[in-house]
Protein backbone atom coordinates (compact mmCIF):
# COMPACT_ATOMS: atom_id res chain seq x y z
CA UNK A 1 0.00 0.00 0.00
CA UNK A 2 1.39 3.41 -0.84
CA UNK A 3 0.30 6.58 0.92
CA UNK A 4 1.16 10.16 0.00
CA UNK A 5 1.59 12.08 3.24
CA UNK A 6 0.39 15.67 3.16
CA UNK A 7 2.30 18.65 4.42
CA UNK A 8 -0.24 20.49 6.53
CA UNK A 9 -0.91 22.08 9.90
CA UNK A 10 -3.48 21.61 12.70
CA UNK A 11 -2.79 25.02 14.30
CA UNK A 12 -1.93 28.64 13.42
CA UNK A 13 -2.60 28.78 9.64
CA UNK A 14 -4.65 25.52 9.67
CA UNK A 15 -3.78 24.14 6.23
CA UNK A 16 -5.28 20.69 7.00
CA UNK A 17 -7.67 19.42 4.31
CA UNK A 18 -9.10 16.05 3.31
CA UNK A 19 -8.48 14.65 -0.17
CA UNK A 20 -11.55 13.25 -1.98
CA UNK A 21 -10.28 9.78 -1.00
CA UNK A 22 -10.08 10.77 2.69
CA UNK A 23 -13.60 12.23 2.53
CA UNK A 24 -14.91 9.01 1.03
CA UNK A 25 -13.50 6.91 3.91
CA UNK A 26 -14.53 9.37 6.65
CA UNK A 27 -16.22 7.47 9.51
CA UNK A 28 -19.57 9.25 9.39
CA UNK A 29 -21.11 8.14 12.69
CA UNK A 30 -24.87 8.52 12.25
CA UNK A 31 -27.09 5.58 11.26
CA UNK A 32 -30.27 7.50 12.10
CA UNK A 33 -31.65 11.06 11.89
CA UNK A 34 -31.43 11.42 15.70
CA UNK A 35 -28.63 10.81 18.20
CA UNK A 36 -28.42 9.84 21.86
CA UNK A 37 -25.66 8.12 23.85
CA UNK A 38 -25.80 4.32 23.86
CA UNK A 39 -23.49 1.36 24.51
CA UNK A 40 -22.47 1.38 20.85
CA UNK A 41 -19.70 -1.20 21.16
CA UNK A 42 -18.94 -3.71 18.38
CA UNK A 43 -16.07 -6.13 17.68
CA UNK A 44 -13.01 -4.37 16.23
CA UNK A 45 -12.81 -6.78 13.31
CA UNK A 46 -11.17 -6.13 9.96
CA UNK A 47 -13.24 -3.73 7.85
CA UNK A 48 -13.36 -3.42 4.04
CA UNK A 49 -10.16 -2.61 2.10
CA UNK A 50 -9.44 1.11 2.38
CA UNK A 51 -11.88 1.67 5.27
CA UNK A 52 -10.67 3.25 8.53
CA UNK A 53 -11.36 -0.12 10.18
CA UNK A 54 -9.31 -2.17 7.73
CA UNK A 55 -6.52 -2.43 10.30
CA UNK A 56 -6.25 -2.25 14.11
CA UNK A 57 -4.58 1.21 13.88
CA UNK A 58 -5.43 3.39 10.90
CA UNK A 59 -2.60 5.26 9.17
CA UNK A 60 -3.75 7.81 6.60
CA UNK A 61 -2.58 10.77 4.50
CA UNK A 62 -2.38 12.96 7.63
CA UNK A 63 0.09 10.64 9.43
CA UNK A 64 3.30 12.66 9.21
CA UNK A 65 1.62 16.02 9.87
CA UNK A 66 -0.25 14.58 12.84
CA UNK A 67 2.95 13.14 14.35
CA UNK A 68 4.60 16.55 13.91
CA UNK A 69 1.66 18.15 15.69
CA UNK A 70 1.98 15.65 18.57
CA UNK A 71 5.64 16.57 18.94
CA UNK A 72 4.79 20.29 19.05
CA UNK A 73 2.12 19.76 21.70
CA UNK A 74 4.48 17.68 23.86
CA UNK A 75 7.28 20.22 23.49
CA UNK A 76 4.93 22.88 24.87
CA UNK A 77 3.48 20.68 27.62
CA UNK A 78 5.33 17.48 28.62
CA UNK A 79 2.39 16.57 30.88
CA UNK A 80 0.43 15.29 27.89
CA UNK A 81 2.22 12.01 28.48
CA UNK A 82 1.91 10.57 31.98
CA UNK A 83 2.23 7.07 33.42
CA UNK A 84 1.97 5.81 36.97
CA UNK A 85 4.89 3.52 37.95
CA UNK A 86 2.84 0.29 38.06
CA UNK A 87 2.02 0.67 34.34
CA UNK A 88 5.52 -0.22 33.11
CA UNK A 89 4.55 -3.69 31.90
CA UNK A 90 1.44 -2.34 30.17
CA UNK A 91 3.67 0.15 28.34
CA UNK A 92 5.67 -2.70 26.82
CA UNK A 93 2.41 -4.44 25.89
CA UNK A 94 1.38 -1.23 24.11
CA UNK A 95 4.70 -0.98 22.29
CA UNK A 96 4.48 -4.60 21.16
CA UNK A 97 0.87 -4.32 19.94
CA UNK A 98 1.47 -1.14 17.97
CA UNK A 99 4.80 -2.26 16.47
CA UNK A 100 3.43 -5.65 15.45
CA UNK A 101 0.21 -4.21 14.04
CA UNK A 102 1.86 -1.45 12.03
CA UNK A 103 4.64 -3.65 10.62
CA UNK A 104 2.15 -6.40 9.62
CA UNK A 105 -0.46 -4.04 8.19
CA UNK A 106 1.81 -1.45 6.50
CA UNK A 107 4.97 -3.42 5.62
CA UNK A 108 6.27 -0.79 3.17
CA UNK A 109 6.14 1.89 5.90
CA UNK A 110 7.14 0.05 9.09
CA UNK A 111 9.24 -2.98 9.93
CA UNK A 112 9.95 -4.97 13.09
CA UNK A 113 12.71 -7.59 13.29
CA UNK A 114 13.11 -9.74 16.39
CA UNK A 115 16.21 -11.59 17.53
CA UNK A 116 15.09 -12.92 20.90
CA UNK A 117 14.56 -9.83 23.04
CA UNK A 118 16.69 -7.72 20.71
CA UNK A 119 14.22 -5.91 18.43
CA UNK A 120 14.83 -3.56 15.52
CA UNK A 121 12.05 -1.11 14.67
CA UNK A 122 12.03 1.03 11.56
CA UNK A 123 9.54 3.79 10.83
CA UNK A 124 10.25 4.99 7.30
CA UNK A 125 7.85 7.97 7.05
CA UNK A 126 9.34 9.53 10.22
CA UNK A 127 12.92 8.39 9.54
CA UNK A 128 13.28 6.45 12.83
CA UNK A 129 15.31 3.28 13.28
CA UNK A 130 16.17 1.76 16.67
CA UNK A 131 17.55 -1.53 17.92
CA UNK A 132 16.56 -2.09 21.54
CA UNK A 133 15.98 -4.73 24.19
CA UNK A 134 12.30 -5.46 24.74
CA UNK A 135 11.39 -4.86 28.40
CA UNK A 136 14.56 -2.91 29.24
CA UNK A 137 13.65 0.52 30.61
CA UNK A 138 16.95 1.98 29.34
CA UNK A 139 16.06 1.10 25.70
CA UNK A 140 14.96 4.62 24.68
CA UNK A 141 15.52 8.10 26.03
CA UNK A 142 11.81 8.10 26.89
CA UNK A 143 9.22 5.59 28.13
CA UNK A 144 8.01 2.96 25.63
CA UNK A 145 4.49 4.40 25.67
CA UNK A 146 5.74 7.85 24.77
CA UNK A 147 8.07 6.37 22.11
CA UNK A 148 5.20 4.68 20.24
CA UNK A 149 2.58 7.26 21.21
CA UNK A 150 4.59 9.70 19.11
CA UNK A 151 4.52 7.32 16.13
CA UNK A 152 0.87 6.25 15.91
CA UNK A 153 -2.00 8.57 14.99
CA UNK A 154 -4.45 9.21 17.82
CA UNK A 155 -4.43 9.29 21.61
CA UNK A 156 -3.89 6.39 23.98
CA UNK A 157 -4.92 5.52 27.54
CA UNK A 158 -3.75 2.46 29.46
CA UNK A 159 -6.39 1.25 31.90
CA UNK A 160 -5.54 -0.83 34.95
CA UNK A 161 -8.24 -3.25 36.09
CA UNK A 162 -8.62 -3.62 39.86
CA UNK A 163 -11.19 -3.18 42.66
CA UNK A 164 -14.00 -3.99 40.20
CA UNK A 165 -13.33 -1.00 37.95
CA UNK A 166 -10.89 0.52 35.44
CA UNK A 167 -8.34 3.22 36.28
CA UNK A 168 -6.82 5.59 33.70
CA UNK A 169 -3.28 5.09 34.98
CA UNK A 170 -1.27 6.10 31.90
CA UNK A 171 -1.97 8.24 28.85
CA UNK A 172 -0.57 9.91 25.76
CA UNK A 173 -3.09 12.62 24.98
CA UNK A 174 -2.46 15.35 22.40
CA UNK A 175 -5.71 15.44 20.39
CA UNK A 176 -8.41 15.41 23.04
CA UNK A 177 -11.89 16.87 22.80
CA UNK A 178 -11.66 19.18 25.81
CA UNK A 179 -10.58 16.84 28.63
CA UNK A 180 -7.37 16.81 30.59
CA UNK A 181 -5.05 13.86 31.16
CA UNK A 182 -3.27 15.76 33.94
CA UNK A 183 -6.65 16.01 35.72
CA UNK A 184 -7.93 12.50 34.94
CA UNK A 185 -4.79 10.38 35.41
CA UNK A 186 -5.29 7.87 38.24
CA UNK A 187 -9.09 8.33 38.19
CA UNK A 188 -11.59 5.46 38.07
CA UNK A 189 -14.20 4.90 35.31
CA UNK A 190 -17.17 6.57 37.04
CA UNK A 191 -15.01 9.49 38.19
CA UNK A 192 -13.71 10.57 34.78
CA UNK A 193 -17.10 9.95 33.15
CA UNK A 194 -18.78 12.03 35.86
CA UNK A 195 -19.36 15.17 33.73
CA UNK A 196 -21.14 13.33 30.86
CA UNK A 197 -24.90 14.20 30.94
CA UNK A 198 -27.84 11.79 30.54
CA UNK A 199 -25.75 8.61 30.79
CA UNK A 200 -26.58 7.65 34.40
CA UNK A 201 -30.31 7.39 33.78
CA UNK A 202 -29.65 5.52 30.51
CA UNK A 203 -27.38 3.06 32.34
CA UNK A 204 -24.75 3.46 29.60
CA UNK A 205 -21.68 3.70 31.80
CA UNK A 206 -22.51 0.77 34.11
CA UNK A 207 -23.19 -1.52 31.16
CA UNK A 208 -20.11 -0.39 29.20
CA UNK A 209 -17.87 -0.94 32.24
CA UNK A 210 -19.29 -4.42 32.84
CA UNK A 211 -18.67 -5.29 29.19
CA UNK A 212 -15.10 -3.98 29.19
CA UNK A 213 -14.12 -5.72 32.42
CA UNK A 214 -14.77 -8.99 30.57
CA UNK A 215 -12.81 -7.94 27.45
CA UNK A 216 -10.76 -10.86 26.12
CA UNK A 217 -7.26 -10.96 24.68
CA UNK A 218 -7.40 -11.08 20.87
CA UNK A 219 -11.01 -9.82 20.73
CA UNK A 220 -10.75 -6.00 20.63
CA UNK A 221 -13.85 -3.81 20.39
CA UNK A 222 -14.60 -0.35 19.02
CA UNK A 223 -17.13 2.45 19.09
CA UNK A 224 -17.55 5.87 17.49
CA UNK A 225 -17.95 9.09 19.43
CA UNK A 226 -18.32 12.59 17.96
CA UNK A 227 -18.27 16.28 18.72
CA UNK A 228 -17.57 19.46 16.75
CA UNK A 229 -14.51 21.68 16.56
CA UNK A 230 -13.88 25.10 15.05
CA UNK A 231 -10.89 24.91 12.70
CA UNK A 232 -9.10 21.60 12.10
CA UNK A 233 -7.43 21.66 15.50
CA UNK A 234 -6.27 18.41 17.11
CA UNK A 235 -5.20 19.89 20.44
CA UNK A 236 -8.49 21.14 21.88
CA UNK A 237 -7.36 20.67 25.47
CA UNK A 238 -8.63 22.55 28.53
CA UNK A 239 -4.99 23.52 29.19
CA UNK A 240 -4.93 25.45 25.90
CA UNK A 241 -8.51 26.72 25.99
CA UNK A 242 -7.39 30.36 25.53
CA UNK A 243 -5.87 29.35 22.17
CA UNK A 244 -9.04 27.85 20.67
CA UNK A 245 -12.09 28.58 22.87
CA UNK A 246 -12.63 32.05 21.38
CA UNK A 247 -12.81 30.62 17.84
CA UNK A 248 -16.37 29.56 18.64
CA UNK A 249 -17.32 33.26 18.47
CA UNK A 250 -15.90 33.63 14.96
CA UNK A 251 -18.47 31.48 13.16
CA UNK A 252 -20.78 33.35 10.73
CA UNK A 253 -23.22 32.02 8.15
CA UNK A 254 -20.59 32.78 5.49
CA UNK A 255 -17.75 30.77 7.05
CA UNK A 256 -19.61 27.75 8.50
CA UNK A 257 -18.49 25.57 5.56
CA UNK A 258 -14.83 26.18 6.19
CA UNK A 259 -14.62 26.71 9.96
CA UNK A 260 -17.06 24.21 11.46
CA UNK A 261 -15.76 20.63 11.65
CA UNK A 262 -17.37 17.37 12.60
CA UNK A 263 -14.88 15.58 14.85
CA UNK A 264 -15.26 11.81 14.97
CA UNK A 265 -13.35 9.55 17.32
CA UNK A 266 -12.83 5.93 16.37
CA UNK A 267 -12.26 4.45 19.82
CA UNK A 268 -10.92 0.93 20.14
CA UNK A 269 -10.11 -1.18 23.17
CA UNK A 270 -7.63 -4.06 23.37
CA UNK A 271 -6.92 -6.40 26.29
CA UNK A 272 -3.15 -6.59 26.77
CA UNK A 273 -1.36 -9.90 27.32
CA UNK A 274 1.17 -9.48 30.17
CA UNK A 275 -0.29 -6.69 32.29
CA UNK A 276 -3.99 -7.56 31.79
CA UNK A 277 -4.45 -3.81 31.26
CA UNK A 278 -6.71 -2.42 28.52
CA UNK A 279 -5.47 -0.12 25.79
CA UNK A 280 -8.01 2.57 24.85
CA UNK A 281 -7.12 4.19 21.54
CA UNK A 282 -8.87 7.35 20.38
CA UNK A 283 -8.31 8.10 16.71
CA UNK A 284 -9.59 11.55 15.68
CA UNK A 285 -10.96 12.37 12.21
CA UNK A 286 -11.84 15.94 11.22
CA UNK A 287 -14.03 17.06 8.30
CA UNK A 288 -15.36 20.54 7.61
CA UNK A 289 -18.93 21.26 6.54
CA UNK A 290 -17.93 21.96 2.90
CA UNK A 291 -16.19 18.58 2.70
CA UNK A 292 -19.01 16.78 4.53
CA UNK A 293 -21.58 18.30 2.17
CA UNK A 294 -19.93 16.67 -0.85
CA UNK A 295 -22.12 13.78 0.31
CA UNK A 296 -25.75 14.88 -0.01
CA UNK A 297 -26.81 12.08 2.37
CA UNK A 298 -24.36 13.10 5.10
CA UNK A 299 -25.39 16.76 4.90
CA UNK A 300 -29.07 15.89 5.19
CA UNK A 301 -28.54 13.48 8.04
CA UNK A 302 -26.20 15.72 10.02
CA UNK A 303 -28.66 18.59 9.64
CA UNK A 304 -31.38 16.47 11.27
CA UNK A 305 -29.11 15.10 14.01
CA UNK A 306 -27.89 18.55 14.97
CA UNK A 307 -31.32 20.16 14.80
CA UNK A 308 -32.84 17.57 17.13
CA UNK A 309 -29.85 17.16 19.49
CA UNK A 310 -30.74 17.10 23.22
CA UNK A 311 -29.91 20.51 24.81
CA UNK A 312 -27.73 18.78 27.47
CA UNK A 313 -25.55 17.30 24.71
CA UNK A 314 -25.38 20.64 22.87
CA UNK A 315 -24.05 22.22 26.04
CA UNK A 316 -21.72 19.38 27.08
CA UNK A 317 -20.15 19.12 23.63
CA UNK A 318 -19.61 22.90 23.58
CA UNK A 319 -21.76 23.58 20.49
CA UNK A 320 -23.98 26.32 21.94
CA UNK A 321 -22.34 29.27 20.17
CA UNK A 322 -22.39 27.87 16.62
CA UNK A 323 -25.00 25.09 16.48
CA UNK A 324 -27.91 27.21 15.23
CA UNK A 325 -25.81 28.80 12.47
CA UNK A 326 -24.61 25.36 11.38
CA UNK A 327 -28.17 24.00 11.35
CA UNK A 328 -29.21 27.02 9.24
CA UNK A 329 -26.31 26.42 6.83
CA UNK A 330 -27.04 22.69 6.55
CA UNK A 331 -30.79 23.26 6.10
CA UNK A 332 -30.05 24.48 2.57
CA UNK A 333 -28.76 20.97 1.80
CA UNK A 334 -31.78 19.13 3.22
CA UNK A 335 -34.68 18.51 0.83
CA UNK A 336 -36.69 16.73 3.55
CA UNK A 337 -36.65 13.38 1.70
CA UNK A 338 -35.79 10.19 3.56
CA UNK A 339 -32.08 9.40 3.87
CA UNK A 340 -31.30 6.07 2.18
CA UNK A 341 -30.92 3.09 4.56
CA UNK A 342 -27.56 2.46 6.21
CA UNK A 343 -26.02 5.81 5.29
In the residue annotation, 304 being an active-site residue is answered as no
CB-count exposure of residue 83 (10 Å: 0-12, 13-18, 19+): buried
- The yes or no reply on residue 168 touching ligand HEM (CB under 6 A) is yes
Residue of 14, 37, 132, 134 that binds ligand HEM (CB under 6 A): 37
- Based on CB atoms, which residue is closest to ligand HEM, 121 or 192? 192
Q: How far apart are the first and last CA of the chain?
A: 27
> Which of 25, 150, 207, 223 is the catalytic position?
223
Q: Which stretch binds ligand HEM (CB under 6 A): 112-120, 188-196, 244-252, 303-311?
A: 188-196
∠ CA 220-285-18 to the nearest 5 degrees? Answer: 135
- The yes or no reply on residue 43 touching ligand HEM (CB under 6 A) is no
Closest approach, Cβ 317 to ligand HEM, in A, equals 5
- Based on CB atoms, which residue is closest to ligand HEM, 52 or 208? 208
Q: Which helix (H) or strand (E) holds 76?
A: helix 63-76
- The yes or no reply on residue 223 touching ligand HEM (CB under 6 A) is yes
- Based on CB atoms, which residue is closest to ligand HEM, 23 or 196? 196
Pairing between β-strand 260-271 and β-strand 278-288 as defined by DSSP bridges: antiparallel
- The yes or no reply on residue 157 touching ligand HEM (CB under 6 A) is yes
| Residue 243 contacts residue 73 (beta carbons within 8 Å) | no
CA distance 324 to 309: 11
Interaction pattern, residues 58-97, with ligand HEM; x per rule: CB under 6 A: ----------------------------------------
- The yes or no reply on residue 317 touching ligand HEM (CB under 6 A) is yes
Closest approach, Cβ 108 to ligand HEM, in A, equals 32
- The yes or no reply on residue 316 touching ligand HEM (CB under 6 A) is yes
Closest approach, Cβ 295 to ligand HEM, in A, equals 22
Which residues, at least 6 apart from 164, have a Cβ–Cβ distance to it below 8 Å? 213
Site for ligand HEM in 271-300 (CB under 6 A): 280
| Residue 283 contacts residue 57 (beta carbons within 8 Å) | yes
Q: Collapsing DSSP states into helix, strand and coil, what is residue 26? A: coil
Q: From residue 106, how far is each of 84, 123, 127, 147, 225 by CA, in Å?
A: 31, 10, 15, 19, 26
- The yes or no reply on residue 195 touching ligand HEM (CB under 6 A) is yes
| Residue 78 contacts residue 146 (beta carbons within 8 Å) | no
- The yes or no reply on residue 165 touching ligand HEM (CB under 6 A) is no
Which residues, at least 6 apart from 134, have a Cβ–Cβ distance to it below 8 Å? 92, 95, 96, 114, 117, 118, 119
- The yes or no reply on residue 193 touching ligand HEM (CB under 6 A) is yes
Task: DSSP letter for 174, please.
Answer: S
Size of the site for ligand HEM (CB under 6 A): 23
Binding region for ligand HEM (CB under 6 A):
37, 39, 41, 157, 159, 168, 177, 179, 184, 192-193, 195-196, 199, 204, 208, 223, 225, 227, 269, 280, 316-317
Catalytic residues: 223
Amino acid sequence: MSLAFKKETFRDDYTYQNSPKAIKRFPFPFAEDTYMYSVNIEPHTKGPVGAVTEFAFDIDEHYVAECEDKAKTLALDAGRYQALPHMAEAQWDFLELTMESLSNDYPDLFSLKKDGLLWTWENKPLGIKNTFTFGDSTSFDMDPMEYMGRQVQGDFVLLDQRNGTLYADAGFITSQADWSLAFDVGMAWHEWHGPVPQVTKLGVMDRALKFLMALQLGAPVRRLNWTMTINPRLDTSPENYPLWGGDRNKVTIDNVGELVHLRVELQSLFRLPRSNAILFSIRCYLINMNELSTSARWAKRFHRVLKSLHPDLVEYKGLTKFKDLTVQWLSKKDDGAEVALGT
